Amino acid sequence: MNVTFWAIFSCCVAERIWELFRSTQNQRRLVRSGFSNFEPIRSRLKMIFFHAAWVIATFIEAWKREASIPLPLAGVCILAIAIAFGLRIWTLRTLGAHWNISIMAPDESASNVQSPQSLFVTDGPYRYIRHPNYLAVILELAAIPMLGGAFLTAIGFSIGHFFILRGRIHEEEQHLFSRPGYSEAVGSRPRFFPRINFVGR
């Protein structure tokens, strides 16, 4: 049995459950601070069910296969998971009460403050990319099942997540870029991968 996989997978499931509770608390605080949830309930449920299906599929395929993957591939998977975990923790610590699993944006009235850029988080990983949490999820969805030999789950759910995430980011950025200050705060940064400036070029 792949003890490393099952330990990582169990921690991931526990974290997902914790995130739901943390998100609910933070959303209430954000509403009191002048933010609104702009994500349709259908979209939220689709994302929740997608991740629940990923957990179930990963568990079933890894349990049925009980496959051992080559050591170099296992190393790559563990490295990707470690990067995803570190990026997620960095994002959570940076966002604080702003972190949640829905599309939250300031109300029009909240945007009319003296310094609208102050409504948006620009520290931590947001100094380099706009969607660090989504990048962490992309890495996890592929690397965790693959570590347990659940290759069909890794490939299938990564493809499905691409289409879901593409629509979600488009909808989220429509709301954010319409708010004064967002474009100036982080709008010029890439979505997922930071730009590398080579010295001397």
Q: What is the pLDDT of residues 75-97, one digit of tens each?
A: 999 999 999 999 999 998 888 87
The token pair that represents 105 in the structure block:
């944006």
- Give residue 174's region: left, alpha or beta (phi > 0; psi -120 to 50): alpha
CB atoms within 10 A of CB 52: 12
Q: What is the pLDDT of residues 28-40, one digit of tens each?
A: 888 877 777 777 7
Q: What is the pLDDT of residues 147-183, one digit of tens each?
A: 999 999 999 999 999 999 888 888 877 777 777 667 7
Taking each helix axis from N to C end, the angle separating 151-177 and 41-65, rounded to the nearest 10 degrees, works out to 160
Render 155-200 in DSSP notation, one character per residue: HHHHHHHHHHHHHHHHHHHHHHHTSTTHIIIIITS-SSS-----TT
